[in-house]
Amino acid sequence: MRNYTIKDFNRQFPDEDTCLEFLKKARWPKGVTCPKCRKITKFYRIANRKVYSCEFCGAHVSPTAGTIFHKSDTPLRSWFHAIFLMASTKTGISAKQLQRELGVTYKTAWRIFKEVRKLMSEDVNPLAGQVEVDETYIGGKHAGKRGRGARGKCIVMGMVERNGNAIAKVIPDVRARTLLPMIEAKVAKKGKTVVFTDELQSYNHVEKLGYAHEIVQHSAKQYVAGVAHVNTCEALWSTVKRGIDGVNHSVSPLYLQSYLDSYVYRYNHRRDETPMFESLLCAGFLRLSGFPEKALKLLLG
């Protein structure tokens, strides 16, 4: 991945006008077609507003319409800066830290934080090859049993393709009727797909779904048996839990899935040549408004 630093960000987006002009050029790379004149005309920026006006009829167009910036009084550069910060670290950044970094109210920081996090929710192609499947438990500290059977925690199922992408979903339980349909929906059966799990009985019928299945016996202190292990998945859980504990401190079950999506997004894009900040611009909020992705990549250089 090409390193994209705060110096690069400041150079590319030094002020509010630059950010708005970036959106304008990205949205209309061949020029703005006036909604009234029905042809490409020159548009001039209206001072102190995020809109442009046609030189002939005065019709207004807004590059932010339909994006997460629409009807937001927060400066565009603050939005861009927030996206940069949320994409720059492995474990992300908290809304409270965004408040301090951007100099906004917590309400504003939380809104930005929530909207950008939504952009990190993406559909991943079915996993294939060697796929590890495991579950973990996320939540506050409670006295009593740890791991499976612990009370007051959310269950998360993870599927990780070795040297590939990951998927993490909040699930209601670890019964076969819950886990097996998830595997069948998210893991491709083409080729020689092998599913690796621990000895949980719910996985006993994985082979009946059409996959090769190998098991590692965690209860017998076995963590690697030949090529069978779920250590890649465990590494993802470590990143998620360290991030939640160290950065977010605690996460409501209501928002846990969106937090998981953000961690998985960073994991899946960890080896991209394009910096993650630019990936979010190209594949995230700009695409929501139909922005041409090729034009965006040209603008980003």
Confidence band of 234 (pLDDT split at 50, 70, 90): very high
Cα dihedral 55→60→63→68 (10° resolution): 170
Q: What are phi and psi of 291, to 5 degrees?
A: -65, 135
Confidence of residue 300 (pLDDT cuts 50, 70, 90): low
* Residue that the structure tokens 């030949």 belong to: 226
* Backbone torsions φ then ψ of 122, nearest 5 degrees: -140, 155
DSSP 43-84: EEEPTTSS-EEETTT--EE-TTTTSTTTT--S-HHHHHHHHH
pTM for the model stands at 0.84
Q: Say whether both 207 and 279 belong to one domain.
A: no
- List, in sequence order, every beta strand (DSSP E) within the chain: 43-45, 52-54, 60-61, 130-138, 154-161, 166-171, 194-197, 212-215
Residue 294 has pLDDT above 60, yes or no: no
Kindly list the strands in the beta sheet with 154-161, ordered across the sheet, starting from the edge strand earlier in the chain: 166-171, 154-161, 130-138, 194-197, 212-215
Query: What is the spatial distance between Cα 89 and Cα 76, in angstroms, rounded to a whole number?
Result: 21
Name the H helices within 170-252: 176-186, 231-243
Residue 43 domain flag: no
Local structure of 170: helix, strand or coil = strand
Number of alpha helices (DSSP H) and beta strands (DSSP E) in the chain: 11, 8
* Same domain (yes/no): 244, 150: yes
Quick check: helix, strand or coil at residue 166? strand
Domain count across the chain? 2
Indicate if 78 and 154 belong to the same structural domain.
no
Backbone phi and psi for residue 212, each to the nearest 5 degrees, phi listed first: -75, 145
Same domain, 138 and 205: yes
Residue 299 pLDDT > 60: no
**CA dihedral sign of residues 296, 75, 12, 7:** negative
- CA-only gyration radius of the chain, Å: 23
Residue 180 shares a structural domain with residue 282? no
Q: Record the tokens describing residue 288, joined without a space.
A: 């929501």
136/241 same-domain check: yes
The model's pLDDT over 10-47, given as tens digits with 9 standing for 90+, comes to 999 999 999 999 888 888 888 999 999 999 999 999 98
Examine residue 94 and state whether it is found in any structural domain, yes or no: yes
What whole-number distance in Å separates Cα of residue 23 and Cα of residue 13? 11
d(CA 259, CA 297): 27
Q: Is there a single domain that holds both residue 102 and residue 138?
A: no
Per residue in 261-279, pLDDT (tens digit) is 999 999 999 888 888 888 7
Question: What is the average pLDDT score of the chain?
Answer: 87
At how many degrees (to 10) do helices 256-268 and 231-243 cross?
120
Between β-strands 60-61 and 130-138, what pairing exists: parallel, antiparallel or unpaired? Answer: unpaired
Q: Which domain holds residue 10?
A: 6-30+64-119+271-300
Which pLDDT band, with edges at 50, 70 and 90, does 106 fall under?
very high
Q: Is residue 236 part of a domain?
A: yes
Domain contains 57: no
Task: Give the tokens for residue 74.
Answer: 């927060």
| Together in a domain, 143 and 231 | yes
E strands present in 139-198? 154-161, 166-171, 194-197
Distance CA 12, CA 29 (A): 18
Same domain, 19 and 86: yes
Q: For residue 179, is it within any domain? A: yes
